[in-house]
């Protein structure tokens, strides 16, 4: 009986093992693992369209499954990661690591623009719509799509203003070239006896007497009268705003020890050299007078680009005038020259190229030889502007000079009485004179 029960139990055990054996072989021998991780972790994983959980996660794959399934890894705020799933063999593990790329946030629309404000000279006061904003150079933020008036002010210069519109995310360049204030001016009426004397104001030729010189800045000026056969007449004159001052020059004949040379040329504007020293340029419809020359022989050379030099000798005698009239001969082969276009701020400055006066700015000087030349701009009430210019044959060089105002002197006031200090000085002198006489 016991033997029969043991046989039955053993038979049942064998049947159980036989039934269990196929299942064990299927799970252990036919299954592989795909291990999915992500950075950052916690991302959802789909395999073949089926949700498998969040990373890190192990996906069991049977060897009999359809190959080429897609693994999709997704996480809010990141771009979706997708790849073809590997096919691990039975009992093997394949690894997939998804590095998720953040989705860039949508940029916030820019609602402001900028004004970048500069000026010449710098340091000027900036007002936007009448409100103080700072001094140049200045960059300031303004609401996009709005229009504003920019005003720039600097002591001694005219106020500058313009209207600009601000654009979203853009910087609008605002540049102001300030113009110096024009000083007050007056006039000078001159005559000479005998008439016809050349008139120079502050060293610059202005014509011949009688004449009226205009646009002279308020203050003291030096006036010279030059006429061949006579001595130089020099006078200082005060110019008042809106008024006309007068100078009447009575010229004295040259001394027996000196003489004069009067030079005229066709065309005019020819450079004059006396004994190799530059004297000036010939005048239109007038003689250029060189006075106070020592007696004896002197050399005269006239020079103008595009013409042959004119040379001659003159013998100066005491109290006499030697006249030189030259007709310049143009060269058969024109000299290759360039031009210089000169502008000044303010306009009207005297233009000197290589120390030769060439007119008043704006002016185009047409006969400059190729090379580097010195250039200077001069104007009463301003510091001289000095620079160089490179001239090329057949081309026009551009020159723009901004003059800087000098210190403004007090405007003189006409008066018919002596200043109190002068009267006091005369009184003191009289007392001292009386005391001295009594001794």
Determine the pLDDT at residue 143.
86
Q: Answer whether 230's CB lies under 8 Å from 254's CB.
A: yes
Q: Could you report the per-residue pLDDT of 237-292, keeping only the tens digit for each?
A: 999 988 999 999 999 998 888 999 999 999 998 999 999 888 888 988 889 999 99
Q: What is the pLDDT of residue 89?
A: 83
The pLDDT value given to residue 108: 62
pLDDT for 225: 95
Domains observed in the chain:
28-99 (2.60.40), 112-177 (2.60.40.10), 258-327 (2.60.40.10), 338-402 (2.60.40.1120)
> Is residue 84 packed enough to be buried (19+ CB in 10 Å), middle (13-18) or exposed (0-12)?
exposed
Nearest one of 94, 79, 160 to 126, comparing CA atoms: 160
pLDDT at 246: 96
**If you average pLDDT over residues 318-346, what whole number do you get?**
87
Q: pLDDT tens digits, residue range 167-221?
A: 888 899 999 999 988 778 899 999 999 999 999 999 888 888 999 998 888 899 9
The β-bridge partners of 314 are: 298
Q: pLDDT digit string (tens) for 290-319?
A: 999 999 999 999 998 888 999 999 999 988
Concatenating the DSSP letter of every residue in 21-69 gives: HHHHHHHHHSEEEEEEEEESS--EEEETTEEEEESSEEEEEETTSPS--
**pLDDT for res 290:** 93
Distance in angstroms (rounded) separating the CA atoms of residues 362 and 347: 6
Cα Dmax for the chain? 183
Distances (CA, A) of 278 to 303, 345, 356, 431: 10, 28, 9, 54
Predicted confidence (pLDDT) per residue in 119-166, tens digit: 999 999 999 998 999 999 999 998 888 899 999 999 889 999 999 998
- For residues 150 and 137, the answer to whether their CB atoms sit within 8 Å is no
Question: Tokens 């000197």 identify what position?
Answer: 352
DSSP string, 108-164: PPP-EEEEEEEEESSS-EEEETTEEEEESSEEEEEETT-EEEEEEE-TTB--EEEEE
Q: CA 230 to CA 197: how far, in whole Å?
A: 9
Binned at pLDDT 50, 70 and 90, residue 36 comes out as very high
Mean pLDDT rounded to a whole number for the chain:
83
Scored b (16 or more CB within 10 A) or e, 258-270 reads bbbbbbbbeeeeb
- For the record, the structure tokens of 4 come out as 């029969």
CA dihedral angle for residue 350, residue 353, residue 356, residue 359, rounded to 10 degrees: -40
pLDDT band of residue 107 (cuts 50, 70, 90) is: low
- Max mean pLDDT among 20-29, 81-90, 187-196, 280-289 falls in 187-196
Q: Give the tens place of pLDDT for each residue, 405-421.
A: 886 545 454 544 444 44
pLDDT at residue 400 above 90? yes
- N- to C-terminal Cα separation, the chain: 182
Section 6-14 average pLDDT: 53
pLDDT, mean of residues 19-29: 43
């Amino acid at each position: 009986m016991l033997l029969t029960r043991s046989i039955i139990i053993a038979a049942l055990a064998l049947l159980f093992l036989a039934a269990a054996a196929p299942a064990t072989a299927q799970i252990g021998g036919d299954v592989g693992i795909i291990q999915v991780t992500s950075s950052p972790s916690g991302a959802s994983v789909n395999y073949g369209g089926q949700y498998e959980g969040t990373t890190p996660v192990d996906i069991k794959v049977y060897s009999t499954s359809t190959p080429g399934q897609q693994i999709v890894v997704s996480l809010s705020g990141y771009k979706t990661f997708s790849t073809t799933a590997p096919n691990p063999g039975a009992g093997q593990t394949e690894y997939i690591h998804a590095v998720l790329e953040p989705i860039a946030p949508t940029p916030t629309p820019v609602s402001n623009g900028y004004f970048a404000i500069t000026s010449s000279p710098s340091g000027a006061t900036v007002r936007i719509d009448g409100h103080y904003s700072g001094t140049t150079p200045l960059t300031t933020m303004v609401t996009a799509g709005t229009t504003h008036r920019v005003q720039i002010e600097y002591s001694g210069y005219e106020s500058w203003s313009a209207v600009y519109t601000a654009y979203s995310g853009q910087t609008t360049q605002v540049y102001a070239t300030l113009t110096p204030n024009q000083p007050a001016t007056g006039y000078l009426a001159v005559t000479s006896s005998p008439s016809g004397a050349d008139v120079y104001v502050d060293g610059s030729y202005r014509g011949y007497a009688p004449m009226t010189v205009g646009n002279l800045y308020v203050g003291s000026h030096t006036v010279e009268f030059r006429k061949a056969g006579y001595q130089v007449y020099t006078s200082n004159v005060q110019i008042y705003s809106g008024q006309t001052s007068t100078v009447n020059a009575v010229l004295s004949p040259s001394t027996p020890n000196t003489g004069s040379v009067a030079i005229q040329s066709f065309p005019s504007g020819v450079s004059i050299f006396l004994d190799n020293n530059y004297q000036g340029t010939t005048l239109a419809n007038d003689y250029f007078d060189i006075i106070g020359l020592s007696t004896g022989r002197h050399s005269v050379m006239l020079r103008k680009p595009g013409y042959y030099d004119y040379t001659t000798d003159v013998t100066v005698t005491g109290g006499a005038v030697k006249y030189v009239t030259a007709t310049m001969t143009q060269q058969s082969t024109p000299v290759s020259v360039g031009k210089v276009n000169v502008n000044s701020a303010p306009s009207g400055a005297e233009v000197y190229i290589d120390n030769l006066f060439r007119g008043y700015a704006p002016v185009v000087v047409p006969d400059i030889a190729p090379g580097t030349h010195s250039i200077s701009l001069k104007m009463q009430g301003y510091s001289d502007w000095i620079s160089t210019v490179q001239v090329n044959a057949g081309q026009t060089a551009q020159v723009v000079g901004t003059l800087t105002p000098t210190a403004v002197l007090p405007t003189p006031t006409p008066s018919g009485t002596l200043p109190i200090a002068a009267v006091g000085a005369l009184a003191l002198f009289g007392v001292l004179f009386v005391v001295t006489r009594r001794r």
